[in-house]
Amino acid sequence: MEGPKEVEVKWKECSRSSREVLEMIAEYEQATFDLAKPEESDWVQMILKDATCGDLETSVCAFGRFVNIFSKLVHEQGKAKAAETASYILQRGFAKELHAGLKDARSSGAWFLLPKSDRTGVKFLLSRVEAYASVLGLLTVDERTASFFLKEMEALLVLLEGLFYQAAHPSLAKLTQSIGVDQDPATDARRAIIRAISALIEWSKRAQRFMIKRRSLYLDMIREIAKMHQSGNPSETDYLTVEINLPAELCPDSETLTEEQGIELCEMLAEHNPTIKSRVERIAAAAKSPICKNTPLSKRKCSSPACDKIEPESERFKTVKKLLGKLVTKECAQGGTGGLQRKGKAPGVKARH
């Protein structure tokens, strides 16, 4: 993954022990309420109080509890009702806390909280970025919530993009290794960020226009999804499954892709479309052959009518573009409103023993 120079990722020791933090995360595990009437729920009021209390540990744990319960209730009661809860809590400090937390993690590198060791012998990291991004993705349930986030959280998409690349900083792997925790915080964070960006894309044309300008980010997200599939736990198969179904206006314009990017994108998308998989594989194999040569087939002008610049186009790249167009058209036709669709529950802040 390529990105700007990133801030080193760091952790801060909690004032509480592992046992205390685990109890804070597990609190109200069986909570349930009517998503259409959040004002009547004592649990919602407690979450709001803890999330905005000013104590970082209490706040992050509150966001973790919210993810665990809200994801289950959305599945049971639907997004229409979930929008009522989202609107209620976002206007009562939730959005401000989310935005401040994401910005601080991005600028300072303070991504994690490490509970003090105790007799349980359990070691784990609380990931602020995973918690915040998970909540953001869960609360983006319709056009109204997506619009609220993009309006109230300045440069939110740029912020999420930066965090996505910051998760690849070498300091994160070193940190996990030095502490000795059985976690993959980089993957967990990127997964949550991908889902947050995907939810915004699904409901917002503004987010779609942003992604159109971020070809490299789009490709890196697909690469990351592919890696998650390859290294995924069998028990997390559904959880790791992300269908790539972008709306038509977001489908990458092959004129802006290099030949290598076009072939790579065809290969990745073909995994979801077996009808053209064999043809894509033949083109990809030919492209990687050392004896393969580009034969100029035609010349095309750049997008500006006033520009006289011409560029050669290879026979193979022309075929790749046609394939990509057909593939994307079919994906879009099958995908409805699109978005990088999510299956399963969004990740919460959880301990791994």
Spans of all domains in the chain: 10-247+338-342, 254-335
**What are the pLDDT digits (tens) for 22-66?**
888 875 557 889 999 999 999 999 999 999 999 999 999 999 999
Return d(Cα 132, Cα 193) in angstroms, integer: 9
Q: Are 135 and 97 in contact (CB under 8 A)?
A: no
Q: What is the pLDDT of residue 318?
A: 53
DSSP 44-91: HHHHHHHHTSS-HHHHHHHHHHHHHHHHHHHHHH-HHHHHHHHHHHII
**What are the pLDDT digits (tens) for 82-123?**
999 999 999 999 999 999 999 999 999 999 998 988 877 778
**What are the pLDDT digits (tens) for 217-265?**
877 887 787 677 666 543 333 333 333 344 444 455 544 555 566 666 6
Q: What is the pLDDT of residue 124?
A: 87
Q: Are 292 and 286 in contact (CB under 8 A)?
A: yes
| Average model confidence (pLDDT) across the chain | 75
Q: Are 229 and 240 in contact (CB under 8 A)?
A: yes
Confidence of residue 309 (pLDDT cuts 50, 70, 90): low
